[in-house]
Amino acid sequence: MPGTMEPINIGLMGLGTVGGGVAAALSNNAEEIQRKTGRTVCLRRALVRDAGKTREPAPPAGVLTTNPEDILADPEIHVVVEVMGGDSPAGEYLERALAGGKHVVTANKEVMARRGASLLALAQSQSVNLLFEASAGGGIPIVGCLMSQLLANDIRSIRSIINGTTNYILTRMARSQTPFAEALSEAQSQGYAEADPTNDVEGIDAAYKLSVLGSLAFHQSIPHEAIHTEGISRLGPEDFRYAAELGYAIKSLAIAAAQPDGTVQARVHPALVPEDHLLAKVDGVYNAVEVTGDLCGQIILHGQGAGRDATTSAVMGDILNVVRFIDSAGPPPLLPVPNGRGHQVGNSIRPIDELSSAYYLRLTCADQAGVLAQIARLLGDGNISIATVIQKDTDPGSGTAQLVITTYPSREADVQTALAAVAKLGVVVSVDNLIRIEQ
Amino acid sequence: MPGTMEPINIGLMGLGTVGGGVAAALSNNAEEIQRKTGRTVCLRRALVRDAGKTREPAPPAGVLTTNPEDILADPEIHVVVEVMGGDSPAGEYLERALAGGKHVVTANKEVMARRGASLLALAQSQSVNLLFEASAGGGIPIVGCLMSQLLANDIRSIRSIINGTTNYILTRMARSQTPFAEALSEAQSQGYAEADPTNDVEGIDAAYKLSVLGSLAFHQSIPHEAIHTEGISRLGPEDFRYAAELGYAIKSLAIAAAQPDGTVQARVHPALVPEDHLLAKVDGVYNAVEVTGDLCGQIILHGQGAGRDATTSAVMGDILNVVRFIDSAGPPPLLPVPNGRGHQVGNSIRPIDELSSAYYLRLTCADQAGVLAQIARLLGDGNISIATVIQKDTDPGSGTAQLVITTYPSREADVQTALAAVAKLGVVVSVDNLIRIEQ
């Protein structure tokens, strides 16, 4: 470690949107950083793919490199800040940085979801910090809250809107009855969705983030592959219309909840949310995380989940905290509490089949007498109680009608089984959607 | 400091509602705490007024004491947890605890508002921690967020609902057109307001909390006496009715905002808030804090601002963090960044006269032609532009009418001067209310 008068040197991996924000903050706020940490913090190296690219402002001479060794093998670099994204090679770089005794700050949700447990163990064994506030929730300070301020709580559940792209699309669909494909291409033209939107609209990005948050909240590994994940592409404008009539908004939620048997249920999917709930009011690219703990009760954090400045806020906060604590002896103070409950990784995730939830079902049926009776019988046989039925959009041409059914809380497996039987009824043209209802 | 195998001993000062919650959490969650901190944490002493009082559950023999020396002079007590409330003697106890090299956790907003700067300096000089998450926002983790996760931000403003009693009363008044006195006595009978409600309804409690939050956000002392403070007792049911017609809710806000000249404007008063803003949707005893920073943008934290469990969440979080860091050598890692900008205490608060705000004005006037012209002329002469006028509640008996005027942003001093002149008009019966409008 450097002497207390020497500068702390940063090796920045990635100089894209967020990396550019971090580099600018390190340079523009140098005096503030010195005041807040008591140390001078220098950007010593920045790893880029193309050192010849024109950058505005141009980094000082000698800072850019295309060789990761210039950061990983430099003993004068004390903190590695990784904002490249993607599992590989970023994950290997971080392993090497930690193994080499460097502190690490990362914004990488995929690396933290896939390798968080082993990286944290490595950091612990090397007595260095590994901070990752920006890996979930962007500028919303949820990671630190789970590790620090809310640490005394037995966390019961997390319910969150943690993908801004998806929320932007859903907000558009709800407000203007825009079909999914159109709302997506609008999001792409606004720069809110990537050319290949799969990670966002299929819930993969949210599952990485939920893995990070759930692992902190429940002190056990929540592997992202074990999270039941559904995207939003099946939602139609009519779902938003019917949901509104029933008093609900539709949001893509990432939920992790402790179960009485010690397992955790973790899932990402569209959900009906009561329209007076604060989560229903999270609009556009905003994110929100609701945490319920035994002591704190329900806390909601709302803010910008992505974007250059918000992510820079989180990364810079981590850098400042690493620097403030860099002279502390003893164990690395900022690491989260690990795997306390001794669960086997992956064994502790409850399958979606065992979910108990209320459901919204949308079907296209023959517009004739007795249809509802046939459907209701199959649902009843499957232990599913109907809460409301709305018949809609009768189409005299095809002789069909839309049927919207909401249920009382039922077991997911029962609902799926009954719905498969319903789909086989001669009077049922199609089962168009199943959306879980959150209260 | 104790050896790494020895227990950490807590001296608890105060065993009322919150103290009882902390004692119960220390006892019931002993294993969790051990797992989360790596240390055994023991409640060694609890200071009470009456050791003979029946308590459920009964504390172990030898824990209760009525003598503060049993905590302050006991070298085996490592952490003092103060939940007595009030400035004195709690403040003196905390000074002695810190001077004696003990770490301190406090929930005391009044002590932190009045003596925070000197206590923090003392903690710094003694290389011990002084944590106070519970002193503002109850279970909402805002104190730690300002000290840690949001540290890289240049905070522009805080706007908050941080008094649950007031918000409960305002929610009742808005929902059922209940008069203030009735809503207050209802809050008292529900246990949400004290027999002497002055501190809550006059904004004093909120000013203490804003002093704590503002000092952290702006890295300078925001003395609570310098905060412009107005209570809610002047609000009438008609104000809620007119505000709703104009598209606003009425909330008591505690606001601190950095000004371009480096000063801070700090104020607690009722305000009109656009009804679609999240702060307008904070209901009942809930609290919320909106923080705007240069990087993070607008973040809102919403949760329970008071109550046994929520406050215990914050106090226990602080205790766990102190214990986790108790073996760290070097400077006390958890203290906030102090007084960085070198402002003189108290000099840096901008007077309310210099506020620029839009206003809602309610007047009772003679119900006759030409009244509005006379009022509008005086406002115009004072550089105040009228945005809307509503004439309401004409009373043929008295020949009066209510006039509700909203203005474009104007200087507070100009508005007060013009309003004094308006009050002297022969056609004006009374100036009934002035409420600032927040956007």
**Dihedral (Cα; B141, B146, B148, B153), 10-degree rounding:** 140
Percent of chain B scored above 70 by pLDDT?
95
Residue B270 CA to residue B170 CA, distance in Å, equals 10
- B209 labelled catalytic: yes
Closest to B170 measured CA to CA, from B189, B192, B194, B137: B192
pLDDT at A346: 46
* Cβ contacts of B106 within 8 Å, gap of 6 or more: B81, B82, B83, B90, B94, B112, B130, B131, B132, B134, B135
pLDDT at B334: 60
Give the pLDDT confidence of A181-233 residue by residue, as tens digits.
999 999 999 989 999 999 999 999 999 999 999 999 998 889 999 999 999 99
DSSP, res A68: T
pLDDT at A179 over 70: yes
DSSP, res B73: T
- What does the pLDDT average to over A341-369? 82
**Dihedral (Cα; A47, A48, A54, A60), 10-degree rounding:** 0
pLDDT band at A344 (very low <50, low <70, confident <90, very high): very low
pLDDT at A338: 55
- What does the pLDDT average to over B231-250? 96
Give the pLDDT confidence of B22-39 residue by residue, as tens digits.
999 999 999 999 989 889
pLDDT at B5 over 80: no
Q: How far does the CA of residue A379 sit from the closest CA of chain B (Å)?
A: 38
pLDDT at B24: 96
The answer to whether A297 contacts B139, with C-beta atoms less than 8 Å apart, is yes
Name which of B33, B39, B151, B155 to mutate to probe chain A: the one with the most chain A Cβ atoms within 10 A of its Cβ. B151
- What does the pLDDT average to over B233-262? 96
The strand pair at B356-366 and B400-407 is best described as antiparallel
pLDDT at A317: 97
The encoded tokens of residue A242 equal 């019917």
The answer to whether A330 contacts B329, with C-beta atoms less than 8 Å apart, is yes
The encoded tokens of residue B214 equal 């503002």
B86: left (phi > 0), else alpha (psi -120 to 50), else beta? left
- What does the pLDDT average to over B396-406? 92
* Cβ contacts of A242 within 8 Å, gap of 6 or more: A360, A362, A390, A392, A404
The strand pair at A386-395 and A400-407 is best described as antiparallel
For the sheet with A79-82, list strands across it: A64-65, A41-47, A8-13, A79-82, A103-106, A130-131
**Contacts of residue A320 in chain B, CB cutoff 8 Å?**
151-152
- What does the pLDDT average to over A118-136? 93
**Contacts of residue A139 in chain B, CB cutoff 8 Å?**
295-297, 299
Closest to A321 measured CA to CA, from A29, A104, A3: A104
**Dihedral (Cα; A284, A285, A286, A287), 10-degree rounding:** 120
B141, closest residue in chain A (CA to CA): A149
Residue A96 identity (one-letter amino acid): R
Residue A304 CA to residue A282 CA, distance in Å, equals 10
Q: What is the mean pLDDT of chain A?
A: 93
Give the pLDDT confidence of A256-280 residue by residue, as tens digits.
999 988 899 999 999 999 999 999 9
Residue B391: CB atoms within 10 A of its CB come to 14
Residue A364 CA to residue A392 CA, distance in Å, equals 10
**Contacts of residue A297 in chain B, CB cutoff 8 Å?**
139, 303-304, 307, 309-310, 313
Asked if residue A160 lies in contact with residue A287, where contact means CB atoms within 8 angstroms, the answer is yes
A288, closest residue in chain B (CA to CA): B300
pLDDT at B239: 97
Q: What is the mean pLDDT of chain B?
A: 93
The strand pair at B228-229 and A264-274 is best described as unpaired
Residue in this structure with the two tokens 């229903």, named with its chain if needed = A280
- What does the pLDDT average to over A74-91? 97
pLDDT at A5: 75
Give the pLDDT confidence of A360-374 residue by residue, as tens digits.
999 999 998 899 999
* Cβ contacts of B50 within 8 Å, gap of 6 or more: B66
Residue B314 identity (one-letter amino acid): A
B327, closest residue in chain A (CA to CA): A330
A29, closest residue in chain B (CA to CA): B152
Residue B434 CA to residue B342 CA, distance in Å, equals 35
Instruction: Outline where DSSP puts E strands in B87-175.
Output: 103-106, 130-131, 155-161
* Active-site residue identified among A36, A102, A109, A209: A209
- What does the pLDDT average to over A333-337? 62
Asked if residue B139 lies in contact with residue A291, where contact means CB atoms within 8 angstroms, the answer is no
Domains of chain A listed by start with CATH number: 8-140+309-324 (3.40.50.720), 142-305 (3.30.360.10), 353-437 (3.30.70.260)
The answer to whether B139 contacts A303, with C-beta atoms less than 8 Å apart, is no
* Active-site residue identified among B36, B53, B102, B209: B209
The encoded tokens of residue B152 equal 């890289």
- Between B33, B152, B328, which is nearest A328 by CB? B328
Determine what percent of chain B falls in helix, strand and coil, rounding each to the nearest 5. 35, 25, 35
The answer to whether B337 contacts A293, with C-beta atoms less than 8 Å apart, is no
Name which of B26, B145, B296, B304 to mutate to probe chain A: the one with the most chain A Cβ atoms within 10 A of its Cβ. B296
pLDDT at A345: 44
pLDDT band at B342 (very low <50, low <70, confident <90, very high): very low
- What does the pLDDT average to over B257-268? 94
Higher pLDDT residue, B328 or B207?
A: B207
Give the pLDDT confidence of A298-333 residue by residue, as tens digits.
999 999 998 999 999 999 999 999 998 887 655 555
ipTM of this model?
0.94
pLDDT at B60: 86
pLDDT band at B112 (very low <50, low <70, confident <90, very high): very high
Residue B160 CA to residue B256 CA, distance in Å, equals 9
